[in-house]
Structure 1
């Protein structure tokens, strides 16, 4: 069975929902910033064409049933401020991986924490996921701290795990189990 579709996950300030073509202008602001993409595995977007190519890749990935590309939309004005990717869904192990990004203009406003709290609660609850994993560059202090604040456990570091933008990079591995999430009252 594929990863179930997600229509919308609501929080007090945000709606986390599937990406659409109309989101690309806002996402160009997010992904067109070198400071934002510094730790991401893809190059900074230079044009609307980069966004369309990314969307085509995300739609193809979604069609496999192993991922869902979502956007973080601010309820007050409909502005898309970032993305959340649920991917590498393994039905037999009831696990998936988590990726996310928020535009620099929206940093330090709690949007990532609010969105991830809701998405993880949904994954552990309605989607019946048993384990969520995330990989983070050790140099990305904000992302490492965010995951730990949400109850993810630092499980180790893989040395030179990825080649990103021509450089071999280490990656911190984080995991969170459903029973830990629920025990921590994190069911969003």
Structure 2
């Protein structure tokens, strides 16, 4: 059983470093979250100023300090720039499960970066932290995210009808789950 979400010093993949998000990353977070197309399925309006990034960082930092969240940025080895982030949140210690979230700068979409990062991050969640289950949600229209989760071995477990409001209309949330045993027995791990 895991005790709390723990930060790795750094997770390395072939093209990326994953490290803890810091205040110096806020301009990159603003660039991603300020793009309406990037946040289209995230349930919030695009950030319009650094104040939004600072408020997000303050909220996330409190969750990290409490041991209920883990937020990492994806840093390109080639450029040294932050190109995305991934995190675990809604961690519940008694049940050893957490929710997965992720976001990628649009310039890096469809290049396999997020799949590469999440493979390493999920392995950290199961192997190092000791999670039993990782959950994720994707808006029904978010074909890219749904496909990514399935390619990582997640199983769609249900639909939360009209869970989110996006662009003024209710949208369903598809619920996905991945169990530690499934991950360990999968050729993807």
Fold match by TM threshold 0.5? yes
Matched, 1:115 2:117: yes
Matched, 1:95 2:97: yes
CA shift at 1:50, angstroms?
1.6
In 1, Cα distance between equivalents of 2:168 and 2:98: 27
In 2, Cα distance between equivalents of 1:181 and 1:2: 20
Number of residues of Structure 1 aligned to a counterpart in Structure 2:
187
Unaligned runs of 5+ in 2: none
**Is the 1:151–1:176 Cα contact (8 Å) retained in structure 2?**
yes
CA shift at 1:185, angstroms?
3.0
Equivalence for 1:130:
132
In 2, Cα distance between equivalents of 1:185 and 1:128: 19
Q: SS at the partner of 2:145?
A: helix
In 1, Cα distance between equivalents of 2:169 and 2:68: 28
In 2, Cα distance between equivalents of 1:166 and 1:54: 23
In 1, Cα distance between equivalents of 2:9 and 2:46: 28
Cα-Cα RMSD: 1.4
Distance 1:57 1:165, change over 3 A: farther
**Is the 1:42–1:165 Cα contact (8 Å) retained in structure 2?**
no
The equivalent position to 1:30 in structure 2, one of 29, 32, 49, is 32
Once the two structures are superposed, residues 28-60 of structure 1 have per-residue CA deviations (whole angstroms, 9 ceiling, x without a partner) of 221110000000122211112221111111112
In 2, Cα distance between equivalents of 1:167 and 1:69: 29
In 2, Cα distance between equivalents of 1:47 and 1:34: 13
Moved over 6 A (4+): none
Equivalence for 2:20:
18
In 2, Cα distance between equivalents of 1:53 and 1:185: 40
Distance 1:7 1:145, change over 3 A: same
Unaligned runs of 5+ in 1: none
